[in-house]
Amino acid sequence: MKVFFSEDHRRHFPQAELSGGQFVTPYERPSRMEYILRRLKERGLTDITDPGAADMAAIRAVCAPDFLEFLETIWGEWKAAGNAGEVIPYNVPVRRMQQARVPRNVDGKAGYYCLSQETAITGGTWAAALSSAASAQAAMRHVAGGARAAFALCRPPGHHATADMYGGYCFLNNAAIVAQMLRDTGAVRVGVLDIDFHHGNGTQDIFYGRGDVFYASLHGAPEDAYPYFLGYADETGTGAGEGANANYPMPPGTGYGPWAEALDQALARLKAWGAEALVVSLGVDAFKDDPISFFRLDSPDFTDAGRRIAGLGLPTVFCMEGGYAIEAVGINTVNVLEGFQDA
């Protein structure tokens, strides 16, 4: 399986994340990629290619223009305003506040586009986010050219980003960009399968009113897990998208048995719906030792999950998302890819 990866991901490395009431080193950090790359090479998956520049037209097909301008310019504005540290907004719009106007003040502007405040922006964030999207785009082009599958080793991840908000470590929604590219190049119906522990609220939001992209997600129940405010089972789409959204929320302590049952149900829905191509938001934070998750999957379970996904028989683009048990992130990620390849 060909892998697409950019070293420019290193340009995004916030020094702080707000967690448990204090600032800590972010769980989403550059070293995650080193463990995955090492495991890929150990297992003979050495066809690793730099993706080149991002296709901005394809990004604009998913993201709001003002949001893209914000991501590109906020660091300069933040520093020009005299802020010494990274972009972490103090205020965000909440219920019954004005949400239709973008503030002029730089903190207000950052808060307007932010959906969760654990995610900081640095001087290199925009370049890193573009390189992450470029990896996803290159993987999509490889699959559209006839390959069975490709792996986009994306960092920063993407599935929490909406068309006009960032957060959850995500800035550009790589999976959504790939799904739209697949649609634009001829696939009538595209499936997005999200196996990250956290619900991909951004991907759901982007496609919720559309009937041409089916979004299915396995994740921690939103009563107990980030992002809290989306991911319930009764969220099934709206308008043209009614019936094209399937959430499988599960409680703390969920092991592979019930998780695999939910995976099989999601795959059956995608097949019955008639998906012609598949995008997998490949998070491996359902692992039993992940520090910010509560499922109980073990490393061999990810191999079996890959086999099950391969059973759909669809051209597949894997986009890297979460997974924060650093010592195991490479093993678990590559297990999914090998399970898929060997099926």
Which CATH number goes with the domain that contains 147?
3.40.800.20
**Which backbone phi and psi does 154 adopt, to 5 degrees?**
-85, 135
Mean pLDDT on 300-323: 98
> Does residue 148 belong to any structural domain of this protein?
yes
Say how far apart CA 315 and CA 275 lie, in whole Å.
Answer: 10
Q: Cβ neighbours of residue 189 under 8 Å, at least 6 residues apart?
A: 212, 213, 214, 273, 274, 275, 276
257 to 136, 224, 336: CA distances (angstroms): 31, 20, 17
Is residue 12 part of the annotated active site? The answer reads no
Q: What per-residue confidence (pLDDT) applies to 60?
A: 98
Looking at residues 134-143, what average pLDDT do you find?
98
Both structure tokens of 226: 């980030």
Tell me the average pLDDT across 30-43.
98
Secondary structure percentages of the chain, helix, strand, coil, to 5: 40, 15, 45
How far is Cα 99 from Cα 171, in angstroms, rounded to an integer?
20
Question: How confident is the model at residue 98, as a pLDDT?
Answer: 86
Q: Is residue 15 part of a domain?
A: yes
Pairwise CA distance, residues 307 & 260, whole Å: 11
Rounded to an integer, the average pLDDT of 147-174 is: 98
- Any domain includes 118: no
Mean pLDDT rounded to a whole number for the chain: 97
Share of the chain above pLDDT 90, in %: 97
**pTM for this prediction:** 0.98
Q: Which ranges in 18-119 belong to alpha helices (H)?
A: 31-42, 56-60, 65-80, 106-113
Query: What is the tens place of the pLDDT at every residue in 74-118?
Result: 999 999 999 999 999 999 999 999 888 999 999 999 999 999 999
Q: Is residue 89 part of a domain?
A: no
Mean pLDDT on 182-200: 98
Task: Tell me the per-residue pLDDT of 261-284, one tens digit each, with 9 for 90 and over.
Answer: 999 999 999 999 999 999 999 999
Residue with tokens 């997600």, as numbered in its chain:
217
Within 10 angstroms of residue 56's Cβ, the number of other Cβ atoms is 12
The answer to the question of residue 336 being in a domain is: yes
Question: Is 112 part of a structural domain of the chain?
Answer: no
State which residues form the domain around 131.
2-63+124-342
Cis peptide bond N-terminal to 14, omega within 30? no
Catalytic residue among 142, 160, 198, 219: 160
> What is the model's pLDDT at position 313?
98
Neighbours of 224 (CB within 10 A): 12
For the sheet containing 48-49, what is the strand order?
48-49, 2-4, 149-152, 316-320, 277-282, 190-194, 213-220, 245-250
Number of domains in the chain: 1
